Amino acid sequence: MEGSTEKPVVYIVSDSIGDTAEFVVKAVASQFNSGQVEMRRVPFVENESQIRDVFEEASGGNAIIAYTLVVPELRQAMAEEALHHNVQTADILGSLMGAFSRVTCKEPHLEPGKIRQLDEAYFRRVAAIEFAVKHDDGKDPRGLMKADVVLIGISRTSKTPLSMYLAHQGIMVANLPLVPEVEPPEELFWVPSKKIVGLVINPGQLQQIRRERLKSLGLDENADYVNVERISEELTYARRIMKKIGCTVFDVSDKAVEEVAGRIIQVIKGGETI
């Protein structure tokens, strides 16, 4: 049997933006000759009238209607109109939702846009990770005002691990080292104090952490960097800056990154004062 040489028109009907259906249509079309199709999106469908309009336009032509609808009434309207107009349709989500329901013994949420919401959360995390890398260890102070939270503290007080952990939660984090011989960038004092968290630690514990760090790098373990008097001097300086800013201060001594991050999230949300 000879097939039609006319390029098919695929209507992408969705109660969200239609990305999912379009991706599937492209994947399937690529399996047929050149894969050339004309796609027409009909997003954010909310009522049966919109569905009837699509079928009126599609009927009589070389058309397919691919849809991702989760609201039962709209799915039923689609099925009825397909019979009436004799137009080929493809339910992208229906059979898979049915399979999930049978296996999990649960009903779907039936909330339009769920996939898009998941995608937005994913891209938010990716953007937050990129932001944390770009603004790690004082790089590009101009970005401090764009951060959800700014972590400040002397070297080896878990600023970078905390930044990356929080970034994976979708939080934009910048961190800045405090060094007695180096004035903090003026941008730090432009940031609202409620968005800044200072990190301090027990001098003895920090001395051990720094010593292990130097050892791993093959450097002199007796450097000034691990001198407890020097560490105390740095902490005194850091506390002075934190007091000037008026920010929340958290002692990270003997605390896991997850614990500290959880407390910081509470502070960001305004639910707790450390």
The Cα–Cα gap between 242 and 188 comes to 11
pLDDT at 1: 38
Q: 34: Cβ–Cβ under 8 A, 6 or more apart, which residues?
A: none
pLDDT at 274: 41
Q: Is the pTM of this model over 0.95?
A: no
The Cα–Cα gap between 246 and 240 comes to 10
User: Which tokens is 248 given?
Assistant: 């929340």
The Cα–Cα gap between 50 and 81 comes to 11
- What Rg do the C-alpha atoms of the chain give, in angstroms? 29
Task: State which amino acid sits at residue 1.
Answer: M
pLDDT at 109: 61
pLDDT at 92: 85
pLDDT at 118: 54
List of domains in the chain? 9-112 (3.40.50), 121-268 (3.40.50)
Tens-digit pLDDT string for the chain (274 aa): 345 557 789 999 988 878 778 888 888 888 776 667 888 998 888 899 999 999 999 987 789 999 888 888 888 898 899 888 988 998 887 777 666 777 777 765 655 555 555 567 777 888 899 999 999 999 999 999 999 999 999 999 999 999 999 998 999 999 999 999 999 999 999 999 999 999 999 999 999 999 998 988 888 877 889 999 999 999 999 999 999 999 999 999 999 999 999 999 998 887 544 4
pLDDT at 104: 77
